[in-house]
Structure 1
Amino acid sequence: MQWSWQRALMMPVMWCVCAAAWAQTPAAAVQGAAAPVPADKVVVSTDIGDDIDDAFALALLLRRPQVQVLGIASAWGDTTLRAQLLQRLLQQAGRSDISLAVGKPTTSTITFSQARWAAKGQLPSGLPDAAAMILQQAHRHPGQVTLLVLGPMTDAALAQQRDPAGFAKLKRIVAMGGSVRVGYGKSAYRPASAPAAEYNIVSDVAAAQRVFAAGVPIILLPLDATQITLEEPERIALFAHGDGLTDALTQLYYQWRNTDQPWASATPTVFDAVPVAWLLRPALCPTTPLHLDVDAQGYTREGPGVPNVQACLRADKPALIDMYMQAVLQLR
């Protein structure tokens, strides 16, 4: 009798507590819901059109929604023709919404292997120069913009020289470049080659020196980590996929193959895809803090001092290739 009386007395209290909890459930659910992760904001500088790795890198970048590409700028050599290539590539990929810029023209010693494909691109009038695009986005989104450099650092250096304070608003620079402990021709079956004057650095040494000294955080993907090849089974799957982006990639690959350059072999080394992969999944290429100096010959020399770069010296090739294929083939 005593238990029944206590239970009856407690029922209104319990009902009030439950009612209060139910009333709060929507607000609590909203508060507890995971907020969407904002996309990384990226401006790209690329010397696409000589080697084929830039095209493979952009294919990966364009497939991933966690990266918001604010703009892509051509770099080095015939930058107008490179911008035409970019316009055609973006159009075929269904990404004509991405802004373009034209880098500073220079003299290049490398043959533009994909020039015939590029020549059919059509540029809109009034495109900004690359340095202007970099600075505009850095000012518009202070502390949020990653500058992804896939070629010589000419335009990054020009932006820094033009507006040091604006350049300092960049979140970071992610660059393919340099050679720290391994040179060209990395192989698991022979001793590592000596460090080399890597192409993107040696092409414009003064620009690299300026960027390294600018104080913006640098993630460096050197030859040590980026000599990753795309083998035949993966190429067949990509080229048979049959959408606008992979069809463009196929055509660019075969124009690259149809050259006499020594590196235009059947198996491409996708140097520039590695920094893109790092942006998407940093665990694929863990970094080490280093102090690197760019010397007059274009070598990136390790030395004493406060680290000025985070360098990836070894990438997880199987996982990187798997991620690449899953993304570009839109399997997940």
Structure 2
Amino acid sequence: MKISRILVVLIAVGIVFLELPASRAQVSADAARSASPQLVIIDTDIGDDIDDAFALALALKSPELKILGVTTTFGNTEMRARLLDRYLQAVGRSDIPVFAGPPSKTDNVMTQAAYANRAPEKKHGNGAEFILREAREHPGEITLIGIGPLFTVQAAIERDPATFKKLKRVVIMGGSIERGYGTNAQGKPNPPQPEWNILCDPAGAKALLASGVPVFMMPLDSTQVPLDAKDREAIFAHGSPLTDQLTLLYHQWMAGTQSHSPTPTLFDPVAVTYTFRPDLCPAKPMHIDVDDKGLTSAGQGAPNAQVCLQSDEKGFLGLLLKRVDGN
């Protein structure tokens, strides 16, 4: 009887030890998958406001992301692509390809054109085609980060909607749900109003929301995060190749127009942050309607987006400063 019991125990223990390596292997495989960087494409109107430059800086300094390429959108997209060429070369990331989206008419001032003009002039590939090509090669794996008007995104959808659906998701900075820009005389948020990225291309926003790809929206409600003098001077004083580019672009932005405050608002970096730290901007499912004047509102019907209405500004700023100031 004792021998039988001993045999049972030994057999059970042996089974446990036999199973341990496989279990550990599975845990290791799961950990490796979770540690692998996300594949992302960034679509930007860099060169007007300064927040795009900070958004790209954050993406470059975030090991959670692997940037497959950057596409430009809105206005003079070739000029924006030249700006990116110089920026990426200066920070040692010329390996990241740059593509130009369809140009569009605008009288908006490109404040950082002088920076772009110092890059060699060349013809860039088609941004919409690049998005579709990468979606075919990496089905279900790519996050498209849209931080400008959605002309290039719209062009990709119109060119091949089935391939566009192969994207894993699209994270955008855009919209105004419960608050607009800034505050009133009493310090209360202004009511909702057309937000710039949606205002410039309402049709693109409508097309994206109807595309069937999961959409995550960071509207004015959660992205009006100021970069005050103390924090920005710490960045400018850091002296790395990356912060030097931010310093140059910031001062060109300031000189390009006298109508704004010297304090940048970090709209676009919030969208980048959401891709790997969604806890800093919790989103909830909503049905978003877009009218022809660019106004976005919560409507009736099945959810067509996940929307963040409030972000952790302190946590977000702490993350951005640590990443951008890091060596």
TM-score by length of 1: 0.89
Of residues 231, 240, 243, the one that matches 1:243 is 240
Of residues 139, 142, 145, the one that matches 1:142 is 139
Structure 1: distance between partners of 2:19 and 2:195: 61
Structure 2: distance between partners of 1:49 and 1:167: 26
Q: Say whether the 8 Å CA contact 2:42–2:146 is kept in structure 1.
A: yes
Is there any run of 5+ residues in structure 1 with no aligned partner, and where?
A: 1-5
- Deviation, 1:261, is 4.2
Of residues 282, 286, 292, the one that matches 2:282 is 286
Structure 2: distance between partners of 1:305 and 1:216: 17
Amino acid in the other structure paired with 2:100: V
Taking the TM superposition and a 5 Å limit, the aligned residue runs for 1:1-332 are: 29-33=24-28, 35-36=31-32, 37=34, 38-122=36-120, 125=123, 127-186=124-183, 190-263=187-260, 265-330=261-326
> How has the CA–CA distance of structure 1 residues 275 and 193 changed in structure 2, closer, same or farther, with 3 Å as cutoff?
same
Moved more, 298-307 or 179-188: 179-188
Q: Say whether the 8 Å CA contact 1:83–1:123 is kept in structure 2.
A: no
Structure 2: distance between partners of 1:209 and 1:193: 24
Structure 1: distance between partners of 2:202 and 2:19: 62
Q: Say whether the 8 Å CA contact 2:72–2:152 is kept in structure 1.
A: no
Is there any run of 5+ residues in structure 2 with no aligned partner, and where?
A: none
Structure 1: distance between partners of 2:154 and 2:250: 30
Amino acid in the other structure paired with 1:150: I
- Deviation, 1:78, is 0.7
Structure 2: distance between partners of 1:66 and 1:98: 16
Structure 2: distance between partners of 1:124 and 1:245: 23
Q: Say whether the 8 Å CA contact 1:87–1:123 is kept in structure 2.
A: no
Amino acid in the other structure paired with 1:147: L
Matched length = 321
TM-score by length of 2: 0.91
Q: Say whether the 8 Å CA contact 2:111–2:257 is kept in structure 1.
A: no
RMSD: 2.4
Structure 1: distance between partners of 2:284 and 2:186: 25
